[in-house]
Structure 1
Amino acid sequence: MQSITSGQSVSSPIEIKGSTSLKNGQILFGKVNRIYPNQTTEVQIGHQKMIATLDIPLQAGEMYWFQVQQPNEGKVVLKVLDSPNVNFSSLKGAAAQLLSHLGISPEPEAASLAEYLLKNQLPITKDTFLSALQWVKTADAVEYGLSIIKRMILQQLPFVEDVFVALLAQAKGEPFHKLLSGLQQQLQDSVSETSVKLKGVLDSLHVAKQDQLQQTGLQKLVTTWIDSSASPELKTGAFSLLQKTGFVPMGITEDGFLEKLVVESSEISGSTKNSVTDKLQQGLQLLSDAKNGTLGKVEKVEYSLNRLLNGLDYVEAETSTEIKLIQQKTISTEELSALASRLLERTFAEASAGNKIAGADIEVNDLIAHLNKDTEKVTESKGKVTELLIQSLKRRPETLSVTNAEKLVLTQVLETEFKTIDFTNGASVAQQLKEWTKMLGLQLEHALANMSGDGLEDLTKDLETLKPLYLNF
């Protein structure tokens, strides 16, 4: 029950050698060790001892409830509180006595708070207790609320509700991008000048937008499925999600779907507007020829496919009778699907590599369309993927009917989507943090403090950032 500063500014603390500060109005539970003349006593609070002046004579060796009064010539003045007829040999009994002294009804939340403050030896005044009790009741989880009260007292933070609410949000561990997404959602219907600017800042901070996920969500599932470096669990989860969203027919296996792509490629003729899609189409037709045993001018399927992927021309070669006999053999489904998967991985990687160029994502969309030529089905699938990602982002597992492998894929897609910085590059990290600091408006006070007549233009820029815009709104 050692006393520490309560964070209240109503009175100056009384410094006691060997202990922490006491403040007027605090309630303490302690033992009288020795009695000195003029009602001066050695009182022990927890492990700390102090010399105090008491308002009435007491008996050495007994335990009492005390309340700190105004100082008297530098000494601690303690008022003795009457102990109600409650057994204080236990923590619950001591908490009940405390509530009685404070004049507070012994409801469950109040009893829990009293026990927590006593157990952690935190200072107690009626004002701080009532405030803490109100805040804890509003917290989603009592344990969060109690730990935050302790943190506010120990770190001497302002004992006000706004600080409690902010720390509660932090304690829940909600991702920053999720908080920003929630703010953006609340601003959707607002058309004021400030809110429009605020939404623009949120967009620049890479807040998740439905149309953004609409464009990239399905692509991420496909590339995860065909990624040769991905774990079997991820690949299985991604393919399963492609089936659940209607992009891939239900009931078909991965090998079966790849074989279907190869077979259907023979029905497509002509070239497209971009080279990557042409490369995919040529590769699938090559594998179709291999499946049918009509290779003609190439010696090996894999050799020819590699030349195609590397942008090289076919090599005409004289083939021996033995090689021709090998060529006539039917390629197995496993071999065919492995080559088709490699073809998809390489072409999607090539298209994605150019995504930093404006409009380059068209190539990826063309590849998507090549895998499923039903445009309505693809649009529907994109919508379903987006909905799954949004629900996963909002952490609403009850609305998702997905397996653990599928949840793993959704989590990875979102992490990739929000990854905006290469943490292996120190210069990149430093530059990104500087940009975020500016956009978040964390330098607002510094800018105001150092404002000069010639710096009004720069100050205007500082006011167009998240913090000042949010405060203004």
Structure 2
Amino acid sequence: MVMQAVMRALLQNQENIPQGSIHFRNGQVFYGVIQRLFPNQHAEIKMGVHKLIARLEVPLAAGKGYWLQVTSNEGAPRLKLLNSNPMSNNESTTNLLQQLGLSNDKVNQSLVRLLMNEHIFLTKEDIVNAVQLLKQSQNLEEGLQIIKLMSQRNLPYNEGVFKSLIASGNNDSTEHLLKTLQASLILEENQLDSTGKEILKLLKSWDVEILPNNRENALLLLKQSLQRTGIFYENTLLDSEQNHELLKESMKPLLVQFLQESQSIQSESKSIAEQLLFRMNGFQLLSSENGPIHHLLYEIPIKLGDYPSEIAMQWSGKRTEDGKINSDFCRIIFYLDLEHLKETMVDMQVQNRIVSVTILNSSEELKNLSTDMLPAVISGLKELDYRLSSINFKTPDNYNKQDSKKNRYHSKQSYNGVDIRI
């Protein structure tokens, strides 16, 4: 489906967030290429977007690549040369696995090639853990991309994080998993504990609620869905002003409790609940801070009239000094599954409360159909102290051609001039 394809693209776009300076850890292994040699045994080493100046204690050749390992991170970091002679990629991969005492199998080879090509820094322990995670993955290439994302986000290489990121990009949407969980709980209703019954009660109440489709009710449903999914419940626990009793009516904390109470039980409901929780956690992990820029990504089910749907939202912008979202300057992208228009994307950019909107949909008639609604949009924004500057309508083909010419997040090259000894 188009919606799931968009979500996978979102996950890939998250990888392009620019990285900061290098922070070495003892035992990290990485692949670097000698760019230039300088007097007094110094050289410039390039590792992806990073460059550093190092003092050489062994002769190296310009233009060649080497495997290096951090042996000391106190004062001027020290790097151990793992292969003294330049080798072909295959030879270099085999050599590193031998150096680390790892078997020369397909999974290990693929991971080492990822480290080389993507300039990823991992310790031997990280590599061993990453290999174990990859062996659990049904798709090796997908698993490698998740390992890459984990390294860029400095996330721990554990099963929970890995499965959460996998779940955030798969074809089972949050709305679909909720429906499937409800059907499974109904079949197992006689065997459910109190938490399972609470989850089923919440799902049933969510399923029957229908409100007239207007702006006020749409906003109310959106707020209710955020509260009912409980995707930000960890933050609520830390906020003493929040009503913690509401957590009992939220899906995510109920799922956590349900899985804790059924650790020794194998059931279809437990498996679905686990996948749903992984997906919720995955979106939370994809949300990030990059210096002053914050990225928030989530997916919630919602009913538009009697049509069950979902909204995926990506927000990028800065926070104010008191930690609140700066609504004057931001970018918000909505992915909607509508009853008649089907998959629709709304890309809204706000600069000093001036709003420009791009609507992506496969219908060529959407622009004409929306003409009568534009005055209400302009008026509604004006009530909120915003001014609409433009609305553009595009089909997926036209949007992709233009969007491919620019990166949503621009990579920046960092340069370290520390005194590093090899």
- Normalised to the residue count of structure 1, the TM-score between the two structures is 0.44
- Normalised to the residue count of structure 2, the TM-score between the two structures is 0.48
**Larger strand fraction of residues:** 2
Structure with higher Rg: it is 1
